[in-house]
Chains A and B, each alone.
Chain A
Amino acid sequence: MRSRRAPQIAATRSVRLFDPGTFARLCHARDYLAAHYARPVFLEEAARQACLSPFYFNRLFTQAFSETPHEFITRQRIGQAKKLLLAGNHSVTEICFEVGYESLGSFSTRFHSLTGLSPAAFRGEARRIFGGFGARWPLYYIPACFQRAFLGER
């Protein structure tokens, strides 16, 4: 997500409840961001969805959802990248552009900072653990204790 003028992030991350109208507007903007995560989205554009100024939107969004709009977009992009890495044979570069990054370097850096692995290492590790490409990859999303309890997995 791009911001023409970096707003001051709210100092506090404590989540609070909002009146229903404000919360609905923030949810509307959040849904908008979720639907457009794969292209550059300006903060002003998202703020407009909530009928708020960019600064105020950034602050209220963070208070309502305990993450900034930028962090939310990043989470959507990296989450989708993980799915694509596990689900298909697309190259890392293809996936980088597919989820909205314009540079392989920034994608890889962000991916590594959030997962502890490079995109290629993440794919390799998941395939090694889940026993082969294409068959068991959805297990990645299920905590191991649930796999043991409900699937009889090791």
Chain B
Amino acid sequence: MIQRLSYTQLYVLDQDAARDFYVDKLGFEVRADNRMDNGFRWLTVGPKGQPELQIILMKIDGPNLDKDTAASLRQLLDKGILCGGVLETSDCRRDYDDLKAKGVEFSAPPVERFYGIEAVMKDNSGNWFSLTERKGN
């Protein structure tokens, strides 16, 4: 039986900017940052509360993607179609205020849902996330 998720991937426009965003704004930590001879950069981050998870920040115009694919991905990011998942918090409204003050873009402010309080934010590449405070944490 599958027991956990250890790696997941996001496409980003610029790895330096993405690293700064996830570390400086979201408070994540860098889990790996290795560069290869061909320009490929293996960059992973993760939330401090989840040490086993690595989020791969993959550059869209790296050596692994052809130009057409990279252009398509850029378009999808521009349109805000790509979802990064759900980020859990114990205080959605407070995090919303803190992250807004740091310049993080939100497409929806905190709203009461039957399952908790949820806001919708974007990273600096265009991936969107739900920021959720679940009821009954």
Q: Would you list which residues of chain A between 1 and 40 have a CB under 8 Å from chain B?
A: 15-20, 23, 27, 30
State whether B40 touches A151 (Cβ < 8 A): yes
**Category for how many chain B residues contact A:** 20 to 34
* Main SS class of interface, A: helix
State whether A138 touches B35 (Cβ < 8 A): yes
Give the Cβ gap from B30 to chain A, nearest Cβ, in Å. 11
> A16-B137, A65-B48, A66-B51 in contact; A142/B42 too (CB < 8 A)?
yes
Question: Is B88 an interface residue when CB atoms closer than 8 A count as contact?
Answer: yes
State whether A138 touches B64 (Cβ < 8 A): no
Give Cα A30–Cα B62 distance, bound, in whole angstroms. Answer: 34
State whether A149 touches B48 (Cβ < 8 A): no
State whether B64 touches A20 (Cβ < 8 A): no
Give Cα A27–Cα B28 distance, bound, in whole angstroms. Answer: 11
Q: Would you list which residues of chain B between 67 and 107 have a CB under 8 Å from chain A?
A: 88-91, 94-95
Q: Could you write out 5 A-B pairs with CB less than 8 Å apart?
A: A64-B49, A66-B50, A138-B42, A149-B64, A151-B36
Residues of A near any B CB (own CB < 8 A): 15-20, 23, 27, 30, 64-67, 72, 75, 135, 138-139, 141-143, 146, 149-151
